[in-house]
Structure 1
Amino acid sequence: MRTRRPFTRFTKIGLAVVALLVVLETAGFATHYLLVTARYVTTDNAQIDGTAVDIVAPASGTVTRWRIGVGSTLREREVVGRIRVGTQASGPQLTIKSPGRGTVVRSSVTDGQWVTQGTRLATAYEFGDIYVTARVPAGEIGDVRPGARVDMAVDAYPGVTLTGLVTAIPLATADRFTAYPALDSDPTNPQPADRWIPVRVAFTDTAGVEIRPGLSVTARIHRPAAGR
């Protein structure tokens, strides 16, 4: 029977270092839970949002007298261009009007361009009514309250923290379905992979940065204090 050799001093030191790293990692997870998870409902499934004003072609034809570009300020029912209907240069012309007011963030046509009826020519937003839509997992919505403070990080501005307040919590959930169900499920009936609540957050401080609809956000919603 072979006698087990005792650990060398070097091996003992190595094992001690490994044990210390495990302890530190465990402590790190515990600290993260106490400082972050226990205090916040966090979601990175969020973005800057608002009510879009889409300008569409009223008929198929050639765009003429296009007057707007990115950054243009629109008034409701303002004429922004015309459509020469049909292929003839002498064809009738229809005016293109903005259905609402706002600032243009996307303009996708130029004079002389042919478009079909219903084509989106430009999009504007009313920048006085910009907010964040933060999709919170349904299992954590119980810890989200109207008026709760929110800390936000925008991907486009690393290191900058914006703040806001929860202003609306819809009653209905939103589902995301997977096109590839599990092998033991019915392949003709895809199952919801995630379920979340789209919470609206109003800005209280934008930290001086330019907020644009569509930018991705990580939102930390303050949980209610214990006992409340």
Structure 2
Amino acid sequence: MKKGVSRGLQIGGAVVVVAAVVFGGLRWNHSRQYISTDDAYIDGQQYAIASPVGGKIIDWQGTVGATFAPNGTVGEVEEQSGDSTSTVSIPAPANVSIIQQDTADNEYVAAGTPLAYAYDMSKLWVTVNVKETLIHEVHVGEPVDISIDAYPGQTFHGQVARIGLATGDTLSVVPSSSNNANFTKVTQIVPVKVTFTTYPDEPIVPGFDVTAHIKKNG
């Protein structure tokens, strides 16, 4: 092999090694300062809009995408009592946008039947699932860098607002714990609520995938 080629390979190899060392050092330094996870998503308060009484749905306005102010009329329920007919309004519970509708005009429903589901799109947050082995390093008020998969290359900012008081498995409808002798311990996760310190200008919706970097305390 010619000396020039050999020299070039040596330099190239050295550059790769240096780059690997620098990258590894940056990752190590980042891991000392932040808890990072992609087990996170855009979340919010879900509202179920239910029928206040039994009867027939009329003047239904709760189509997907429709927005309402608090107590705005989403629709009405027509009640028949003997020979008389009356209507009862179906109010919006807050500033909400409909994300799912489960009824339509002329449908008969019972009192309490969910008719639609909605969120306040101006007050969404991030739920970050943190491993139980790391939760002691998370503290309310700590800053969080937020990357939303829908907007690659952008960083949004928030802070830890609340640390869950139970693991995700405890809150699950079907917990993974076992009562038999073949139990295998699984690292549990604790849901952490992260609110935006500056709310994104870009549209975000519940369920968007997120990567969160929570600053460690101290």
TM-score normalised to structure 1 length? 0.70
Q: 1:186 to 1:22 in 2, by over 3 A?
A: farther
Matched letter for residue 93 of structure 2: G
1:199 corresponds, among 189, 192, 195, to: 192
Q: 5+ residue gaps in structure 2?
A: none
In structure 1, C-alpha distance between the alignment counterparts of 2:40 and 2:214, rounded to whole Å: 12
Q: Deviations over 1:85-112 (max 9, x none)?
A: 79xxx99666352362122231423323
Matched letter for residue 163 of structure 1: H
2:67 is aligned to 72
1:55 corresponds, among 28, 45, 49, to: 49
2:141 is aligned to 147
Count residues in correspondence: 207
**Does the CA contact (< 8 Å) of 2:56 and 2:79 recur in 1?**
yes
1:5 is aligned to none
1:219 corresponds, among 206, 212, 215, to: 212
Q: Secondary structure at the match of 1:129?
A: coil
1:129 is aligned to 123
In structure 2, C-alpha distance between the alignment counterparts of 1:192 and 1:203, rounded to whole Å: 34
**Does the CA contact (< 8 Å) of 1:160 and 1:207 recur in 2?**
no
Q: 1:18 to 1:96 in 2, by over 3 A?
A: farther
**Does the CA contact (< 8 Å) of 1:62 and 1:83 recur in 2?**
yes
In structure 2, C-alpha distance between the alignment counterparts of 1:43 and 1:122, rounded to whole Å: 33
**Does the CA contact (< 8 Å) of 1:53 and 1:102 recur in 2?**
no
Identity fraction in percent: 28
Q: 1:145 to 1:163 in 2, by over 3 A?
A: same
Q: Deviations over 1:157-193 (max 9, x none)?
A: 22221101112223433327559x8xxx746x6x563
In structure 2, C-alpha distance between the alignment counterparts of 1:26 and 1:117, rounded to whole Å: 64
Matched letter for residue 205 of structure 2: R
TM-score normalised to structure 2 length? 0.72
Q: Deviations over 1:95-150 (max 9, x none)?
A: 35236212223142332345566543222223453221111111111222221111
Matched letter for residue 103 of structure 1: V
Q: Which moved more, 1:196-205 or 1:64-73?
A: 64-73
Question: Could you say which structure has the larger radius of gyration?
Answer: 1
